[in-house]
Amino acid sequence: MPIAHIHHTDIFYLTEGNPAHPAILFSNSLGTDHRMWQAQAKHLRERFYVIRYDTRGHGDSASPAGPYSLQQLAEDALGLLDFLGIATAHFCGLSMGGVTGQWLGIHAAGRINKLILANTAAKVGDSIAWQQRADMVRTNGLGSIADSAASRWFTPDFARRMPDQISVLTEHLRQENPSGYAACCEALAGADLRQQIQAITPQTLIIAGNADPVTTVADAVFMQQQIPDARIAVLEASHISNIEAESAFNQALLAFLSD
């Protein structure tokens, strides 16, 4: 199992494609792992060196004691690039991964070629609500979160059409480490980049879902207005748009990277 020891923790990663091609690093959303990007990896691996990893507290990465900070999550991504000997890469993150991407665009722009921020916001949710969720998960586990995840992640129509896929994703969430999940909730509680994202300099694509109740189209428009020359693509999807609107997401991603 490929593991990078970074900042006193272990980060699981996968690579696909030719290392001589431009690199793209994918960062997962809260409660998922590198497997959420399977369709994008398959679509891009002939033309890019695709790197997927599990954010600390998720998947096969370690779950050190929290709370975590957004800076920690972003520095793990930079540490993975260093571990792999990659000076610069494209970066694509969704939801929590997109917040990580914003931090990188602000503080480590020299390492990022192009930046894709999917179904995310400069401030995701309410800080008090995130802390309450962290406390609840530490006390009760991830069962209740997993039971309601599909209603936040996907439209009812997609959930009806793809019950097996929904079941797999919610079971993955149920199996996540509660302490790691809670610590990432605390990172999101402390993350507010609304006054900073105008400093992002890499060319940026913002992807939103028109039915996303978590990070709305209005959140995406705000980011587009603040980030110089940012583009926006609104897909027919809810929160995890790269899965619900796989084809449209892949087309938008490849067109942006190839421009």
Contact present, 238 and 155 (Cβ < 8 Å): yes
pLDDT above 90 (res 259): no
What is the average pLDDT across 25-40?
98
What is the average pLDDT across 153-172?
96
Burial class (CB in 10 A: 0-12, 13-18, 19+), 100: buried
pLDDT above 90 (res 41): yes
Architecture of domain 3-258: 3-Layer(aba) Sandwich (3.40)
* pLDDT tens-place string over residues 117-148: 999 999 999 999 999 999 999 999 999 899 99
pLDDT above 90 (res 83): yes
The bridge status of strand 3-6 relative to strand 9-16 is antiparallel
Average of per-residue pLDDT values in the chain: 97
Domains of the chain: which residue ranges?
A: 3-258
**What's the length of the chain?**
259
Pairwise CA distance, residues 234 & 94, whole Å: 14
- The tokens for 118 are 């999917």
Sheet (strand 23-27) strand order: 3-6, 9-16, 49-53, 23-27, 89-94, 112-118, 203-209, 231-235
Counting residues of the chain whose pLDDT is more than 90, the rounded percentage is 98
User: Please, which pLDDT band fits residue 256 given cuts at 50, 70 and 90?
Assistant: very high
pLDDT above 90 (res 1): no
Pairwise CA distance, residues 63 & 183, whole Å: 9
* Chain centroid to CA 210: 18
Which of 110, 46, 116, 105 lies closest to 70, judged by CA? 105
* pLDDT tens-place string over residues 173-193: 999 999 999 999 999 999 999
* pLDDT tens-place string over residues 194-216: 999 999 999 999 999 999 999 99
Q: Is the pTM of this model over 0.85?
A: yes
Contact present, 159 and 239 (Cβ < 8 Å): no
pLDDT for 47: 97
